Amino acid sequence: NIPSAHPAIRALDEAAINRIAAGEVVERPASAVKELVENALDAGARRIEVAQAEGGKTLIRVTDDGHGIAAAELPLAVARHATSKIDGSDLLDITSYGFRGEALASMGAVGRLTISSRVAGSEAAEITVTGGRLGEVRPAALRRGTVVELRDLFRATPARLKFLRSDRAETQAIGDVVRRLAMAEPFVSFTLADVSGGEERLSFRADAETGDLFDALHGRLTRVLGAEFTKNALRIEAEREGLRLTGYAALPTYSRGAAVAQHFFVNGRPVKDRMLLGALRAAYMDVLPSGRYPAAALYIDCDPARVDVNVHPAKTEVRFRDPGVARGLIVSALRHALAGAGHRASSTVGG
Ligand code: ADP
Ligand code: MG
C-alpha cells in the first residue's frame, strides 16, 4: 500500500512566521513590557513611563525620551529580523539589550501595535500594525522620543488568551519586570501606572545630582528592595581575570525564607542563571541555616565576548566562557565581605 498524495512543502507567509515566533518572544504582557522597556533603554532614554490596563491584556504603553525612529524607518522597525543594533557579523560582541529584531514584529502579529516616534530635527510620525498588517506611515504629534502602544494582546488568538493569568497576577509580573530593569539601570527614571484603576504604581526617580554608581545603586535598591535591605547590605566590589563584580549583599541576619531577593545582572542585563545562584548559595553556605536564603543584588561586568547572551529569545540565561572564574569571584568576594562584617565560616559561628 503506497500512500497516495504526499503533503506538499510550502513556505509560510510572513504573518504566520511572525505569529509562531511571537509565541517565544511575547509569552504574556510582562514579556512585551520587558521588550519595550529594553528598546527604550537601547535608545538611550533617561525617563521611561509604562502604563498598563487590565494586567496589560488590553493596553501596554511605553513612553521614552530616547533617540527615536526616523519616519522612513518605521516599517522596518516592525519588520522581522530588522535591527539597528547589530550587523550580524559578531554575535559574540553584543552590548545592547535587543539584537534579534523580532520583538516589534511579534507584537504586531499578536496585537494592535502603534509606534509614534520623533528623531531630533524631524517631524514625528506613526505606524500601526494589526494582526501583522502594516498601515501607512502618518504624521503624529509628539515632542520627542518614542511611544509604543500595544492593545488587545492575543485578542485574535483566544487559545493564547486563555493561558494568561488573572489581571492581578499579570500586573504583578509587569511590576517585577519594571523593578528588575530599574535595578539594572539606576541612572534612568522609571514609572509604572495602572490606567485601569488598579493600585499598582511604581516610581523610581534617578537622582540627577549623583554620578556615583554606588550612590545611585544604593538609592535605587533602597526604593526597589526596601530600606531594610540596604541597611543590612554589604557593599561588594571585586575583580578577577577581567570580570568585575559590584553590588550589595545582605548580612545573614537579613536572610529570607525563600529565594525571593536574589538579583543578578550581567553586563547590565537582568539574568536568572543557575550557576550564579549556586555561587551565591555557596558563599553563604556556612553562615546560613538551611531553609534561609541570602538576599543580594550583584552586577557582573566583563568583555561581552566572554559571555554569550544569545541563548534564548527571552534572554534571561547567559553562558560564561569560563564559568569557574565567575563562580570563584562571587564566592570569594562575598565570603570576604561577610568575614569582614564578623560572619565567618561555621568554625567561628557562635565562637
Ligand atoms: P531589536 O531590539 O532586537 O533590534 P525590536 O523589534 O525590538 O528589535 O526593534 C526593532 C528596531 O526598532 C530596533 O533595532 C530600533 O532600531 C527600533 N526601535 C524600537 N524601539 C525603539 C525605541 N523605543 N526608540 C528608538 N528606536 C526603537
Ligand atoms: Mg528590542
The tens digit of pLDDT for each residue in 108-167 reads: 999 999 999 999 999 999 999 998 899 999 999 999 999 999 999 998 888 888 899 999
Distance CA 309, CA 245 (A): 18
Boundaries of domain holding 39: 14-204
Strands annotated E in the chain: 47-53, 59-64, 112-118, 125-130, 133-134, 138-139, 145-151, 189-194, 201-204, 233-240, 243-250, 262-266, 269-271, 296-301, 307-308, 319-320
Residue 314 pLDDT greater than 70, yes or no: no
Residues 239 and 293 in one domain: yes
From residue 1, how far is each of 4, 6, 7, 8 by CA, in Å? 9, 13, 17, 20
Residue 4 pLDDT greater than 70, yes or no: yes
Distance CA 197, CA 255 (A): 35
DSSP 8-class letter at 205: -
Residues 200 and 231 in one domain: no
Ligand 1: residues within 6 Å at CB? Answer: 35, 39-40, 43, 64, 66-69, 77, 83-85, 98-105, 146
Q: Which atom of ligand 1 is nearest to the CA of 97?
A: 2
Q: Which atom of ligand 1 is nearest to the CA of 67?
A: 25
% of the chain at pLDDT higher than 70: 94
* CATH code of the domain covering residue 33: 3.30.565.10
Kindly state the cell numbers that stand for 289: 541555616
Q: Which ligand is nearest to the CA of 43?
A: 1
The tens digit of pLDDT for each residue in 19-63 reads: 787 877 888 999 999 999 999 999 999 999 999 999 999 999 999
The predicted structure's pLDDT at residue 23: 76
Q: Which ligand is nearest to the CA of 115?
A: 1
Residues 190 and 263 in one domain: no
Write phi, then psi, for 265 (nearest 5 degrees): -135, 125
Return the SS3 of 68.
Answer: coil
The predicted structure's pLDDT at residue 208: 67
Question: The complex's ipTM?
Answer: 0.99
Q: Whose CA is nearest to atom 2 of ligand 1?
A: 98
Q: How far is CA 27 from the centre of its chain?
A: 14
Residue 313 pLDDT greater than 70, yes or no: no
The predicted structure's pLDDT at residue 89: 76
Residue 51 counted as domain residue:
yes
> How confident is the model over 256-270, as a mean pLDDT?
91
Residue 198 pLDDT greater than 80, yes or no: no
How far is the centre of ligand 1, averaged over its atoms, from the C-alpha of 162 (Å)?
29
Return the SS3 of 178.
Answer: helix
From residue 132, how far is each of 74, 79, 129, 156, 182 by CA, in Å? 14, 9, 6, 11, 31
Categorize the per-residue pLDDT at 310 as very low, low, confident or very high, splitting at 50, 70 and 90.
low
Q: Whose CA is nearest to atom 13 of ligand 1?
A: 83
Domain count, the chain: 2
Residue 220 counted as domain residue:
no
Residue 212 counted as domain residue:
no
The tens digit of pLDDT for each residue in 217-261 reads: 999 999 999 999 999 999 999 999 999 999 999 999 998 888 889
How far is the centre of ligand 1, averaged over its atoms, from the C-alpha of 211 (Å)?
27
Residues 30 and 151 in one domain: yes
The tens digit of pLDDT for each residue in 77-109 reads: 998 888 888 877 777 677 888 877 889 999 999
Asked if residues 198 and 218 have their Cβ atoms less than 8 Å apart, the reply is no
* CATH code of the domain covering residue 239: 3.30.230.10
Residue 271 pLDDT greater than 70, yes or no: yes
Residues 243 and 280 in one domain: yes
Distance CA 16, CA 88 (A): 24
Q: Whose CA is nearest to atom 14 of ligand 1?
A: 83
Residue 102 counted as domain residue:
yes
Q: Whose CA is nearest to atom 12 of ligand 1?
A: 77
pTM over 0.90: yes
